[in-house]
Chains A and B, each alone.
Chain A
Amino acid sequence: MIIADQKPVAEIKGFIEGKKKVLIAGCGTCVTVCLAGGETEVKNVASALRIAFKNDGKDVEILEDTVERQCDDEFVEPLLARVKNEGFDAVVTLACGVGCNFLSTRIGPVQVFPGVNTSFLGSNEAQGDYLELCAGCGECILHLTGGICPMARCSKQIMNGPCGGTSDGKCEISQDIDCGWYLIVKRMQELDILGQYDEIQAARDWSKGTHGGPRRLTKETAAMAAEDDAAKES
């Protein structure tokens, strides 16, 4: 899932200085699971902001809302309606960057601020412990590397590792980071496919990653016919 980390409240407060009525909007999916932006975190951030503005002697109304997902129209519509009807002059979203983008392109002349730093695609290793495992690069090569990703787990994203900086299974960047290629080799040994390791891998086609510009994916077989979609909407 998407892992995010809450921004310091002081930073969030800076975004909304001068505003009168602000909605703190949570998301019930990834950021809830990674304890960064669900209803509970909305309560905490909203409370901290209320205390902060009160101490400044400023009258800022901070309200709360959380929807299932901030990346689907059906879920955000009530949120957008609320912002409009109740006259909010800013929204702080605790959803990942997707949510912030999604709201910003639909909300009209109200600014949406990010309340979290969207960090990576990762796993939940233990309560409160998250690890990046996928770089979202657009073309999976995990079949070549024993299921462990050199794009996400090698600091240098090299295709034919490890580099000379590997030592005792750790990366030269930090003793806290495993060497991705060390993990790959171990795993290949375990699977008895170490032969694959000898093959030199070709350079990546980065156009399928962010280098090819913003990506969009349409699953034709699932999409609705344009006229059906229009009929449904009317």
Chain B
Amino acid sequence: MGESGSKQSLDENLKAPCVAACPVHTDNRRLTEYVAHGRYEDALELTLSVNPFSSVCGRICSHACEQECRRNNVEKPLSLRMLKRFIVDNTRDYRLARRGKIKKTAGTKGKKVAVVGAGPSGMTAAHDLAKDGFSVTVFERAEKPGGMLSYAIPKYRLPYDIVREDVDDILALGVELKTGFDVGKDVTFDQLKKDHDAVLIAGGLFDSRTLALPGMDADGVILAMPFLREAAEGGTPVLGKKVVVIGGGNVAVDVARTAKRLGAEEVTMICLEGEDEMPAWDWEIQETVEEGIRISNSWGPTEVRTDGGRVTGIDFKECTCVFDDTGRFNPQYDESNTCSFDADNVIVSIGQQADISCVEGSKVKIAGGTRFEYDRATLATSEPGVFASGEIAVGPGAAIEAVAEGRRAAQAIAHWLDKGDVASIPGTDMPHVGELPERVAEKVIKRDRTEVEFADPVERLTNFEVIEPCFTEKEARQEAARCMSCTLGAVVDEEKCAVCLTCVRVCPFDVAKIEKKAVMPADECQACGLCAAECPAVAIKLERWGVHEMKNRIAGKLERLGGKPDKFLLGFGCLFQAETRDALQNDPAAVKSDGIVRISVPCTARLTVSDLLAPFELGAGGVTVIACEGDSCQYPIALDRIERRVKEAGGFLEAIGVGADKIQLMKTNGPAETEWPKILSEAREKLG
């Protein structure tokens, strides 16, 4: 739980839990808003502005945002990772054109930084430092950049061209990349340091950990990282029919699934942990089981059985407990309960460790094993000007955490280069509003999370093609509509509030209350805007919506359309009815011929009476409000409120001789693509 109970929004420090949980604090609320408005390019800009690995994250991010999403209190979290994928997958042409315009800012400051390792951490640091004007060279041992993204995560989850998309944007800043270059071998660390003003070590966890068991040196025993690396490079590590994978983490899952795709007939994952303790993510385990991989829990390996130097099987004893009372890894066994598996191959996937050969012979102090001395706050090593980030520094985690640490490293290095000393760089923790209170959650209209259907398990095992399809545009828009815009709700101007209680009475979520003046607690408000549309004092503002501002908006739209069309009619529609962004657009030629201008709004119940009259001021002959019918509406009572407001506007029009019939409310379940043209052309006929 984060900090809760702050009264009003517009406080930049009061974040939605999804934003706080994301290590780079992607503003998912804006992202979903942009998708709803069809502004996919703006959404791309937004995600890239905080996350240079947006394409990658759209595919494989472990999405802490979703774990924290407040829709969890209603039904299920927003599918934020998939929305990100939708955004990057649907803006490719724009992004290519954009890349051509990226300014080569690297080198404008005249100080040089070397980055060891082109994984997400090193490349993010390079990105930020280059943007800051430093000259940056990334040295990468492998032939391709991306680190584990390119060499460990299997292609059926993350194809290389997706990694490349992000990397190419970074390189466009003028970052120099030297691949096939092993620091420690191709250049000594001291030399590298001499040639640069600062060095960042971001070498990741390159090596696999192994086990000290009898038989480990037999043919057919393989370590996870070399196995995945070979597969990633398109190689086909020779496998027998029966494969045992030792390990229960995400890497072991990838190993098992890769083995199956490479032709192993029977793949079994065996791990120390019980079913509920497995470190692999639930969804990964589920996909693994779907692919016919067996998982056997609570076994610790004792011996690899061999015959003539080749693996024939592996023996286990029961693991009764993995962690001790203090939560430390301290497995206990029942030696009397054993089992044995036949195997042609044993793949050991029990964790990764750093390869710190790059600093060998240098003054960078080793703290013990494969770790060097490193200060988590300053990201500095023992050697002045040498910093570290990513998994080599903080241990295994998710790609986005490596990105966030890369960002912190860039800040640390920039400070070092600009000021000449080390600084404590703020971590990624952020206060947030916490969970959605139950009393509000139960009033929120439930909406199923949009799921995609993965490729058929039998089919997908025959190749390394991506198994997860992207959202269609309709699905993406439907999913974006589920966002509750947490903390972006209503804010009261205390000077104007007349304490009339209108907001308290109309709020469908029982959120608005009076504390001397009206108050909408930011951790409860659903940002529906119903109160703002009815406030008689114009005292309520909404973060995402200009209350009473429709006249300017329509005027702007008319200007962009080349002036008011003949026989001008205005149609207000709810943008959540549109399955494609095309439906939200006004085609200037069509407007010219039929005179109908569309304005899409996030729920028509945001429209005030003055908003409804505004088109008439601008010369419209009629207004049609297309509201969502029944369950399709986002908010309780919204339809009733807009019906009343249309009636009130009609009363004014009647009184001045225009006629109440010139404004009408139509209801539909959509979609906008087919329903709006029908409704609006009927209006056209009716009004002449």
Contacts and interface: CB of A to CB of B under 8 A. Distances in A.
Contacts of B653: 48, 51
Contacts of B537: 28, 32, 38-40
B684 interface: no
Given A32-B500, A41-B536, A9 B613 contact: no
B505 interface: yes
Contacts of A49: 656
A31 to B, nearest CB: 9
Interface in B35-80: none
B656 A13 contact: yes
B538 interface: yes
A34 to B, nearest CB: 8
A207 interface: no
A29 interface: yes
A40 B608 contact: yes
Interface in B636-655: 648, 652-653, 655
Interface in A114-172: 124, 126-127
A52 B608 contact: no
B-side interface size class:
20 to 34
A48 B536 contact: no
Given A10-B655, A39-B538, A40-B538, A48 B613 contact: yes
Nearest to A46: B610
A10 B656 contact: yes
Nearest to B620: A51
Interface string B309-349: 00000000000000000000000000000000000000000
Contacts of B617: 47, 50-51, 54
A33 B534 CA distance: 11
A124 B534 CA distance: 16
Given A28-B498, A40-B535, A47 B610 contact: yes
Contacts of B610: 40, 43-44, 47
B614 interface: yes
Interface in B121-150: none
A52 B498 contact: no
A29 B505 CA distance: 18
A153 B548 CA distance: 39
B382 interface: no
A5 to B, nearest CB: 13
A100 to B, nearest CB: 19
A8 interface: yes
B496 A51 contact: no
Contacts of A48: 613, 652-653, 655-656
Contacts of A44: 609-610, 613, 648, 652
A35 interface: yes
A55 interface: yes
Contacts of B500: 32-33, 35
Nearest to A44: B609
A198 to B, nearest CB: 41
Interface in A1-45: 8-10, 13, 28-29, 32-33, 35, 38-41, 43-45
A201 to B, nearest CB: 36
Interface string B189-215: 000000000000000000000000000
Nearest to A1: B500
A19 to B, nearest CB: 16
Does more than half of chain A's interface fall in helix, strand or loop, or is it mixed?
helix
Given A40-B610, A47-B617, A50-B617, A124 B501 contact: yes
Contacts of A39: 496, 536-538
A129 to B, nearest CB: 10
B569 to A, nearest CB: 15
Nearest to B504: A127
A47 B548 CA distance: 12
Nearest to A47: B613
A51 B656 contact: yes
Interface string A79-118: 0000000000000000000000000000000000000000
B288 interface: no
B296 interface: no
Contacts of B535: 40
A136 B49 CA distance: 64
Contacts of A47: 610, 613-614, 616-617, 652
A50 B618 CA distance: 10
Given A39-B537, A40-B610, A51 B616 contact: yes
B397 interface: no
A127 B506 contact: yes
Nearest to B644: A128
Contacts of A124: 501
B658 interface: yes
B414 to A, nearest CB: 49
B498 A43 contact: no
B442 to A, nearest CB: 23
Interface string B531-571: 00011111000000000100000000000000000000000
B502 interface: yes
A45 B652 CA distance: 8
Contacts of A40: 534-538, 548, 608-610
A126 B506 CA distance: 11
Interface string B593-618: 00000000000000011100110110
Contact of A52 (B506, B534, B657): B657
A54 B657 CA distance: 12
B536 A38 contact: yes
| Most chain A beta-carbon contacts within 10 A, residue among B506, B536, B652, B655 | B536
A35 B506 CA distance: 14
B12 to A, nearest CB: 28
List the 8 shortest-distance A-B pairs measured between CB atoms, nearest first.
A52-B656, A38-B536, A33-B500, A43-B610, A48-B652, A47-B613, A127-B505, A32-B498
Given A51-B613, A127-B505, 18 more contacts: A8-B655, A9-B652, A13-B656, A28-B496, A28-B498, A32-B498, A33-B499, A38-B498, A38-B538, A40-B535, A40-B536, A44-B610, A48-B656, A51-B617, A51-B653, A51-B658, A52-B657, A127-B502
17 contacts: A9-B655, A13-B656, A29-B498, A32-B537, A33-B498, A38-B498, A39-B536, A40-B537, A40-B608, A43-B609, A44-B613, A48-B613, A48-B652, A48-B655, A51-B613, A54-B617, A126-B505
Interface of A: 8-10, 13, 28-29, 32-33, 35, 38-41, 43-45, 47-52, 54-55, 124, 126-127
